[in-house]
Amino acid sequence: MTATFDISEFIDGRRVGFYQVRILITCFVIMLLDGFDMQVIGVAVPALMQDWQLKPKDFGLALTAGPVGMILGAAILGPIADRYGRRWPLIVAVTLFGLATLLSAFVSTPDGLALTRLFSGLGLGGVLPNVVALSAEYVPARARGTLSTLTYTGVPIGALASGLVGSWLIPSLGWRSVFFIGGLFPLAIAGYAATRVPVAALASVLIGIWITVTFGWHGWQSIFIVGFLVPLVAFGAYFVFTLPESIRFIAARTEKRHKAAAVIRKIAPEVQLSDSVQFTIHEARQAKVGVASIFGPGRTLPTVLITLIFVCNTFGVYFFMSWLPVFMKQSGLSMTWSLLSTVLLNGGGAVGTVTMGVLIDRYGIFKVVTTSYLIGAIAIASIGIGAEPAVLVPALFLTGTCMMGAQTTMYAVAAMVYPTAIRATGVGSTMGWGRIGSVIGPLIGAAFFTLQWSIAAAFIAASLPIFAGALFIYLVGRVPKRFETTA
């Protein structure tokens, strides 16, 4: 008689061990890279304007290309990973956005920058769904929400790091420096993960030294660049070396059964499995349903409202990530302080991502998210009042806390509204349609500069979609919903 081993029961019945923690840290590091490269274009644009003698409106296409690429990347690499496993699509995605970011340092026109950002977006878009899915598979169901949220905090922290590094390097070394760092580190990590040898990491450091010498960066600048790459590459490579394949993917294939057994032994060395063990995965099977199942009487209005909330939120996030340093520079701040504005924004985002879940557990999801959007919208409108630190610092931090923090909770809102039978369709469809906001945000920012709006008018206008988001989430909690049966 063939022995069976239920993987879901095994993981859900255990505490999170060191091997699983390493996987979560690996996913966090990858999300950190993702966040760094998402923000890097916004950090570089003020310096690019000076270097190329161009106006803000000339960068509208370059700032829009990244979000377009992310939409395409999520649509392409997500299904590929579901079919062929997550490890290699994830390595490909990290390699793609690392290489495209590195190539961005060598472009000389906005159109060339738009092309590299499009390919960078393809990689960035493929990272998020695979990291979220991979991290979720290795942790118990009871802790999945909390640990997935902590993993996602890598995005705002990476974006924060982009602002810090940019504010330090760009005034001395120019805009290319942030693209070199944003490209070399992901390439080293991806190369190490693919080959399992330290040659790739060493090659990345050597390339960094070559770039330093070629571009004449000597003294403390060269020490910083190499000193930044070596420890980070070593740290990241150690954790990425442990990055496994999806355990559900390898367990479902007979020819990979021995790999699943090896992963189980790493999680729990005391567990002994025979070569003939049959793995099972206890998951609720869901009938395939079409998009039509989330529309109809009592369904259409909630679906439309949730989609609009995602549009409003992604509009705000990408408007700020793309244009905030430019607006701050136009308002009279120095280059350094303009770039540091992204640190306040993304620092608030990291705090909001972590704390929003605690507040929801205590006060309820609709009340907390509605309040968060209202406070965030008021903070956004306040940014345009002036460059006084007493106003600007708390306004930027609150914007990040409330707007970016609410973004992560919207996944929970959508999951709560749709029942199990159509949850994947409802959440996936509304999120996908809502990504259009990530394209609209950078375009609207460029339009503000084209129309020569004042800073105050621009931020007041940018706050309107967030005010609308507060209204929409309030209505989602109030409108009647009829999801008892599926179409």
Euclidean distance between CA atoms 232 and 182, whole angstroms: 12
Between the alpha carbon of residue 208 and those of residues 10, 185, 214, the distances in Å are 44, 10, 10
pLDDT of residue 195: 60
Please say whether the beta carbons of 54 and 48 come within 8 A. yes
How far is residue 357's CA from residue 362's CA, in Å, rounded to a whole number?
9
DSSP code for 176: H
Q: Which residues have CB under 8 Å from 451's CB, separation 6+?
A: none
**pLDDT (tens place) for every residue of the chain, 487 residues total:** 457 777 878 888 888 888 888 888 888 888 888 888 888 888 889 888 988 999 998 999 999 999 999 888 888 877 787 777 777 888 888 888 888 888 888 888 999 999 999 999 998 888 877 787 777 788 887 777 677 777 878 888 888 888 888 888 788 778 887 887 777 777 767 766 666 555 555 555 555 555 555 555 443 344 344 444 444 555 455 555 556 777 777 777 766 777 777 888 888 888 777 766 777 766 545 455 577 878 877 788 888 999 999 999 999 999 999 999 999 888 888 888 888 888 899 899 889 888 887 787 788 888 899 999 999 999 999 987 766 777 888 999 999 999 988 887 887 777 777 776 676 677 778 888 888 999 999 999 999 999 999 999 999 999 999 999 999 999 988 876 665 544 4
Model pLDDT, residue 460? 94
Q: Do domains 1-283 and 291-487 have the same CATH topology?
A: yes
How high is the pLDDT of residue 475? Answer: 92
Residue 452: is it exposed, middle or buried by C-beta count within 10 angstroms (0-12/13-18/19+)? exposed
Look at the chain and count its residues.
Answer: 487
Which pTM does this prediction carry?
0.81
CB 135 within 8 A of CB 151: yes
In this structure, the number of other CB atoms found within 10 A of the CB of residue 207 comes to 17
Stated as kind and residue range, the H or E segment containing 275 is: none
> Which pLDDT score is estimated for 196?
55
How many distinct helices (H) and strands (E) make up the chain?
20, 2
Type of residue at 105: A
Q: Which CATH architecture has domain 1-283?
A: Up-down Bundle (1.20)
Of 172, 169, 127, residue with least CA distance to 151 = 127
Task: Enumerate residues 6+ apart whose C-beta is below 8 A from 244.
Answer: 23, 87, 138, 263, 266
Q: If you write DSSP's letter for every residue of 184-237 in order, what string do you get?
A: HHHHHHHHHHHH-STHHHHHHHHHHHHHHHHTT--THHHHHHHHHHHHHHHHHH
Closest CA to 50 of 322, 386, 325: 325
Instruction: Report how far apart, in Å, the C-alpha atoms of 344 and of each of 27, 150, 169, 324 are.
Output: 24, 19, 18, 11
Q: What is the third-level CATH fold of 291-487? A: Growth Hormone; Chain: A; (1.20.1250)
Domain ranges of the chain: 1-283, 291-487
The DSSP element (H or E) to which 138 belongs, if any, is none
pLDDT at 230: 46
